[in-house]
């Protein structure tokens, strides 16, 4: 089965019943096609003894089929412990790569191998190596949104869900070099009081949220808490009632007494939140005249491509064994620190 060039998946419409501030979404697949593809995917999953891992930003029809839907930390933890023979990773390339590093002997496939990340692009390994050479006392903390070769050059990996904990656990006498997200890095510095050298990278989607956009939607929903991802700029983070990873957004909204929330992160998160908290309302913070609150990379994965990749067992993530070996150490360290009951846990 292949992608149809005129697929209705590329069109956008306002959500029925939503007001002006609500987001636009893709036209869903016609139900009979969605059902047929979903059944075929579940069938392949059984035959392959595969596990289907999906990030919170994936399209709803993929989230609804996954064995596990979560943030980068949860997905790494799931990848580390799976007994499945095949890992089908619905997210972006660096996430599938992380799963391969944790499972060199398994087949790891992803629906679209071009699903990149602006943070990963911002940090080529050669440039990182050159910066590291300027200070032998650097302790490199790499946000998981980076390539395997950058991971291989790092001392420890972090995700948005554990960055505070990882930085707090870093050796006191060392100069921390935090790569590649300067917004997450700045937030971690505020939380930990630890000075760090920040790589100048950012998420092209999260930096589109602005102070003005938040104020505009706040006037419409004055009592709704603002929940923002730490990849947002400081101007947005300062307005937020909670700054956290996508998985912690679910916890926060579940346990908050509020019944409506403003969400400043990628639009796919709204589906997960609505599934987890059906009685509550989630309002995406608008971005100016564009669909920039949809990550174009995350949205490269479609149900059709998911079916194709499982049917063909391709594209596969393949990595140099030496890179796997070197990148594994800082990922294992992250997973180990994440389990430790430390004060100020991120």
Choose between 70 and 308: whose C-beta lies nearer to ligand 13P: 70
Sort strands 196-198 and 260-264 into parallel, antiparallel or unpaired: unpaired
Touching ligand 13P, residues 240-269 (CB under 6 A): 245-246
Binding site for ligand SF4 (CB under 6 A): 92, 117-119, 145, 203-206, 231, 266, 295, 297-298
Torsional class of 327: left (φ above 0), alpha (ψ -120 to 50), beta (otherwise):
alpha
Q: Where are the beta strands (DSSP E) in 144-201?
A: 156-158, 175-179, 196-198
**Shortest Å, Cβ 112 to ligand SF4:** 13
Choose the contact partner of 246 out of ligand 13P, ligand SF4, none; CB within 5 to 8 A by kind: ligand 13P
**Shortest Å, Cβ 218 to ligand 13P:** 23
Burial class (CB in 10 A: 0-12, 13-18, 19+), 312: exposed
Choose the contact partner of 56 out of ligand 13P, ligand SF4, none; CB within 5 to 8 A by kind: ligand 13P
CA angle, 77 then 332 then 330, to 5°: 125
Cis, peptide link before residue 180, omega less than 30° from 0 = yes
**Shortest Å, Cβ 74 to ligand 13P:** 8
In the three-class reduction of DSSP (H, G, I as helix; E, B as strand; rest coil), residue 137 is classed as coil
Choose between 186 and 258: whose C-beta lies nearer to ligand SF4: 186
Q: List the x/- string, 50-89, binding to ligand 13P by CB under 6 A.
A: ------x--------------xx-----------------
Decide: 55 and 92 in contact? Cβ < 8 Å.
yes
Please choose, out of 17-25, 158-166, 187-195, 276-284, the segment that lies near ligand 13P by the rule CB under 6 A. 158-166
Integer Cα distance of 177 and 216 in angstroms: 36
Of the candidate residues 120, 182, 208, 231, the single one contacting ligand 13P (CB under 6 A): 231
The alpha carbon dihedral of 178, 180, 181, 182 has a sign of: positive
**Shortest Å, Cβ 90 to ligand SF4:** 12
88: which strand partners?
52, 109
Choose the contact partner of 71 out of ligand SF4, ligand 13P, none; CB within 5 to 8 A by kind: ligand 13P
Q: Which residues contact 171 (CB under 8 A, 6 or more apart)?
A: 139
Q: Is 145 in the site for ligand 13P (CB under 6 A)?
A: yes
Choose between 48 and 345: whose C-beta lies nearer to ligand 13P: 345
Choose between 286 and 346: whose C-beta lies nearer to ligand 13P: 346
Kindly list the strands in the beta sheet with 175-179, ordered across the sheet, starting from the edge strand earlier in the chain.
Answer: 156-158, 138-143, 175-179, 196-198
Q: For the chain, state the CA radius of gyration.
A: 20
Integer Cα distance of 14 and 324 in angstroms: 44
Choose between 82 and 118: whose C-beta lies nearer to ligand SF4: 118
Choose the contact partner of 204 out of ligand 13P, ligand SF4, none; CB within 5 to 8 A by kind: ligand SF4
User: Which residues here bind ligand 13P, judged by CB under 6 A?
Assistant: 56, 71-72, 145, 159-161, 203, 229, 231, 245-246
């Amino acid at each position: 089965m292949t992608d149809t060039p005129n697929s209705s998946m590329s069109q956008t419409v306002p959500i029925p019943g939503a007001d002006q501030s609500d987001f636009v979404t893709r036209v869903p697949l016609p139900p009979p096609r969605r059902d047929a593809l979903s059944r075929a995917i579940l069938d392949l999953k059984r035959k392959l003894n595969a596990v289907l891992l999906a990030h919170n930003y994936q399209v709803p029809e993929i989230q609804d089929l996954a064995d596990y839907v979560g943030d980068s930390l949860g997905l790494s933890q799931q990848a580390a412990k799976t007994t499945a023979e095949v890992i089908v990773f619905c997210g972006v390339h660096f996430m599938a790569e992380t799963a391969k590093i944790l499972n060199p002997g398994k087949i790891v496939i992803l629906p679209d191998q071009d699903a990149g990340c602006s943070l990963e692009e911002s940090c080529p390994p050669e440039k990182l190596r050159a910066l590291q050479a300027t200070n032998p006392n650097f302790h490199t903390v790499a946000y998981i949104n980076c390539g395997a070769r950058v991971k291989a050059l790092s001392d420890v990996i972090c995700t948005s869900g554990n960055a505070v904990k990882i930085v707090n656990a870093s050796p006191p006498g060392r100069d921390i070099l935090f790569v590649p997200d300067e917004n997450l890095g700045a937030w971690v510095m505020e939380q930990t009081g630890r000075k760090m050298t920040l790589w100048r990278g950012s998420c092209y989607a999260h930096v589109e949220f602005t102070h003005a956009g938040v104020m505009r939607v706040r006037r419409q929903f004055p009592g709704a808490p603002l929940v923002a991802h730490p990849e947002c700029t400081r101007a947005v983070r300062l307005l937020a009632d909670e700054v956290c990873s996508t998985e912690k957004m679910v916890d926060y909204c579940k346990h908050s007494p509020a019944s409506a929330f403003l969400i400043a992160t990628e639009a796919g998160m709204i589906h997960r939140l609505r599934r987890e908290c059906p009685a509550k309302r989630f309002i995406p913070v608008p971005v100016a005249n564009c669909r920039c609150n949809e990550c174009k990379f995350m949205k490269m994965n479609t149900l059709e491509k998911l079916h194709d990749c499982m049917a063909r067992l391709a594209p596969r993530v393949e990595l140099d064994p030496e890179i796997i070996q070197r990148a594994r150490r800082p990922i294992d360290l992250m997973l180990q620190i994440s389990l430790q009951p430390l004060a100020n846990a991120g």
